[in-house]
Structure 1
């Protein structure tokens, strides 16, 4: 497989963005690109189009012909890859496009990148929330099963709780405050506008309210402080369910910096900085495939 025109292709795809990175067999980065959504559980055909577009543009950025993909090793870390039917459908669509293809979840390649391919644990808290650990070749996961059923403690969860509290405030169950005022400023016509919005809102829409909770907490708002305490409790329960594997725990995701320092002491002691990103993890996995 290791021919002069063999390259490594790393893919990191989620519900919003698909990133591609091209490297030579030594791991030297040659080109990168990005495309749209690549959650194979939500829309496998769209995910494949996004992956194909990102790969084609990454090869172009590297000054290489798109046809080089057919002699290359691809490792795709995609949201939804834990669903066997979605994984099978994606691999069928991708068949014949690469010399070798491996499909992992986006969380798995993030873990491999964070710990330079070695054992370790990560917890990602952003729009969603998922934890994953690698121990002696075995993966263990908690959370990440999707909002609103799961993703407890995520940005979407936090925004949802804030909106529920705003309705309680309008019902006279709780007092008004900085957080509820900031929410009603977005829905100035009141509850009917909020309820109509909720009928079409997705996880990312709910997560867009998480910054209001953070800002209100910084301003001393009692409700925001309570919601974030509940968030910390939910995240802590999930993190403690994961093994203290390898070099430790990396907190990742858009909200990690905001909440990681508020976690209990036993979790703080486990935390270590990430050594690389998800694409770096996918490239490491691709190199291991090449060595076989």
Structure 2
């Protein structure tokens, strides 16, 4: 545990996890996920202020791993100015791939694929870092919960039209939208549509376990996409014939069939699938003590002093 008083954030599209980590005490809170259609920094500032109020804590350093963090939103100084009066004097912001990596593997070399609503893979070698995908639900996130849910909706409507094979996914989608002919209107007009689509990934996992052929195909394709991202990331940072530790984290890997297919795709010399040391919120806390010489430090935005 860090000796500092740290307020750590793991900000995802489905949920925002917050941990107040102080010497001898820890509080964990859960908030609604990031609204990608609204400015990011004010959302984070609101979460921080509420977290400080609810825990009655006195953090001095804010650390955050943020899904889809862009250069535009990575202004740690601007966030710090929004937190005036909270007692927080320093801020460190990173893409959630960085904090997922630190939570899962610590400071060692390896690769971490974090697949929830979105997905990103990060590989860290001795001297370099490679990020693969994490390009959002429109341009990327192959194998993510959204990607799986989108494939499920596509397969459902193909079956409904008679363009594709029958699947139990039709009944699942009809449970939410009884009139399938109007489902697309309801979905497109819903501000929460990204999370709604991603939620169907759980139904794909359940139907795949029951032997639904369409759900099995989607599961296999998602596993292939995720394994491809990991192999690509490792290939970009591997300096020699070293064995790379690989961690697969996130809700998508709650599907045993997908997890097994992913492992099978990656089986072979030079890759070792390992159990994560911790979670992304642990990685957000670890930002407080990340060594200046670590390859990931260059991707962390700093402001203030602690």
Bucket of the pairwise TM-score, normalised by the shorter protein: 0.7 to 0.9
Q: Is the 8 A contact 1:114 1:275 kept in 2?
A: yes
- Give the Cα–Cα distance (whole angstroms) in 2 for the partners of residues 137 and 9 of structure 1: 29
| Aligned-pair CA distance for 1:151 | 0.9
- Give the Cα–Cα distance (whole angstroms) in 2 for the partners of residues 242 and 18 of structure 1: 27
Aligned residues: 275
- Give the Cα–Cα distance (whole angstroms) in 2 for the partners of residues 228 and 11 of structure 1: 30
* Partner residue of 1:240 out of 225, 228, 231: 231
- Give the Cα–Cα distance (whole angstroms) in 2 for the partners of residues 271 and 7 of structure 1: 34
- Give the Cα–Cα distance (whole angstroms) in 2 for the partners of residues 40 and 196 of structure 1: 19
| Aligned-pair CA distance for 1:36 | 3.6
Structure 2 unmatched ranges of 5 or more: 293-305
Equivalence map 1:1-292=2 (5 Å)? 7-24=5-22, 28-38=24-34, 42-44=38-40, 45-58=42-55, 60=56, 64=57, 68-69=58-59, 72-81=60-69, 83-88=70-75, 91-95=77-81, 98-136=88-126, 138-200=128-190, 202-243=193-234, 248-258=245-255, 259-265=258-264, 267-268=266-267, 269-288=271-290
| Aligned-pair CA distance for 1:101 | 1.8
CA 1:106 to 1:40, structure 2 compared with 1: closer, same or farther past 3 Å? farther
| Aligned-pair CA distance for 1:185 | 3.9
User: Which gives a bigger RCO, structure 1 or 2 (Cα 8 Å, sep 6+)?
Assistant: 2
| Aligned-pair CA distance for 1:108 | 0.8
Structure 1 unmatched ranges of 5 or more: none
- Give the Cα–Cα distance (whole angstroms) in 1 for the partners of residues 180 and 285 of structure 2: 50
Q: Is the 8 A contact 2:100 2:114 kept in 1?
A: no
Q: Is the 8 A contact 1:39 1:80 kept in 2?
A: no
CA 1:29 to 1:242, structure 2 compared with 1: closer, same or farther past 3 Å? farther
CA 1:226 to 1:104, structure 2 compared with 1: closer, same or farther past 3 Å? same
Over the aligned positions, Cα root-mean-square deviation in angstroms equals 2.9
Q: What TM-score do you get using the length of structure 2 for normalisation?
A: 0.78
